[in-house]
Chain A
Amino acid sequence: MKHPPRSITMSRVQPILSIRNLSKTYAGGFEALKDVSLDIETGEIFALLGPNGAGKTTLISIVCGLVNPTNGTAEVDGYDIIRHYRQTRFRIGLVPQELPVEAFETVFKTVSFSRGLFGKPADPAYVEKVLRSLSLWEKKDDKIIALSGGMKRRVLIAKALAHEPTLLFLDEPTAGVDVELRKDMWNVVESLREEGCTVILTTHYIEEAEQLADRVGVINHGELILVEDKQTLMREMGKKQLFLHLQSELDSVPTGLAGYDLELAADGRELVYTYDTRGERTGITALLADLNGAGIHFNDLRTSQSSLEEIFVDLVHKAEAT
């Protein structure tokens, strides 16, 4: 087969997915995506976060060829998703948000069907490997209608992996599955990363993004409001707080401590100090000395850092306020 030329970026390693100025306006006038640009690097796990209707599924659907874009371009491994749809779709695996499966087909046959549909010759050994990795081998001859929701989700992942894609989209992969299965799914994603597969997942479970992702993107009202390395994001936007459990109750924060970002909590039994981890000094040593000087004593302390969920909520609220 003659392959069309890829676009070549000389300056750095070519991203596996490159989206430029992508917009989508549906027939009813709803603007689902607004001028979105994004690069996904090979081998990374990228979590796309956003509330319902933010545009996550539309973005994925355009790249996979299920939705026509209104404007903009997207390239997979240097191939344009429209002009070179064969090359791009051959590289992509998609696990949709819903559970659309052929109810009366067996697990093995439906996974083999997906492999053929995406242009790969039959390979029962590879299908077996995929099914075993997803704990589906024992169910290979079962009809899909007889499987639980969690098992159906696994079948969809197996179908998406059947043609050995290099870019996998997981649209809400653990929606509605129990905790144990969710952990299993995380293990599957981790093993895909080890095999070099790039994974883009959308999720409502911030814990999931926190656990799995290398980078996080936040989308709201069709706009990509932030793309950041997860650790950097949590370090830069995460607040850290020191909680001091007081020996004696306070009515208010003493005026001598007004220079600190302090709040009283737990009916005056707890003092909460918010500080910036990026600064050279946190101010904790000085605060403790000043508390001692003011005769305020504590019998316990703990610290806490903002979760990705709190950061996400902050970002979305800020975006909506502006």
Chain B
Amino acid sequence: MNFVNGKIVNESECDSVLERIEEMLISTLKKPPLDVNQVINACDTMVKNVESLEVMKKLPELGISKALTDIYMKQIKQMLSAEAIRARMRIELGENYDKAVTLRYVHSHATAVQTLTPLGVLFHITAGNVDGLPFVSILEGLLTGNINIVKLPKEEGGITVLLLAELLKLAPSLAEYVYVFDYSSKDVAAMQKLAKVADAIVIWGGDEAISAVRRMALPNTRIIEWGHKISFAYVTKEGATVKSLEKLAYHICLTNQLFCSSCQGVFFDSDDIEDIYEFCEKFLPILEKASQENPHALGEMAGLFIQAELTIHDYQRRIENQASATRIFREQNVSITAYADSQLEPSPMYRNIWVKPLKNDDIIKLRPYKGYLQTAALICGKNEHEELAQKLLRAGVVKVSDGREMSNYACGEAHDGVFTLRCYTKWVSVQDYDQSNTE
């Protein structure tokens, strides 16, 4: 779906917008900057009635489970209230982000005023793994006063435009700050045109997408990368209580392991493969129970395809005679594969995880994955917690939580180790007019 100036537009209209986009952007950029309070107030009003929004009723059609819808609703309410947004801005941009700062030049009496301003035009190339991600990305752009051009991911389902339409109902003057297109990323001409008019490209995606953007972008265009990350759980014998594992199982089933912050597998603090098997046997029924309580929308067939893939890999290992310690533990809806190596890797997803040995002294060996590491759920005893958290951070992890909060956002929490709003703004200074010039 394409959405320009607050209206849904068809493909041919879209192409004509693309023709004129530079002029359109300039006419907006000429005006005084966007009043961010409008955005904040509109969000605040919107989330107060989030349950009654049309778009929320559409979530089940997009294959989003009831449990997840409830969580989204709760998260939106928490994240987008005026109070929460202002708190986030203070944390990310500094207490006085909305005030001008006076600067003094060292060798003269000259003074200047420094203010926080938007980058200008952001071109968001968004990904499809998190529902509503394009909307959140636009919102972050609006909160920093930017014009936002968005390329929707494939099979987005229309949720972004629905949410935007609600927002623009409350703040119609934002219309010229939002352009949504569903051009394919393979439409090189359109991508290049949009990249050219932007001050910064915000890219959500895997290594390939990021490399493509780096090749496409002009040297004077900033690139802000939200690349693919891998998250995992680190579990010790002492921490592996039913209660803490239930939290992890719930998270795995809720996110289907699709997010960057989703647990792909478990590193267990041991170098004895028997301990790994034992942990798998303990966790399997817990994971299965969580899965039955939160059935996923993909259906039985998808499960069949994933199981088949696991089986073929396993069979292939047998053919290659890798007399391996690899063992698959299966239940009706979930599986856990025990490996003897300590490589960090993605899982087959949809409730199929791996478990590997990693002694706590070896956590630092995850360093080669630097840049890919994101969240680690630390499931350990109270006395081990501090030390293990530090070890994980030193290896390059940017967030340590328990099993349940891996994918949850705490107000003001950094994203992949950086503050998003700070990336979308710049500090500019203007020297005060020197009176002596006229004397």
* A in complex with B: no
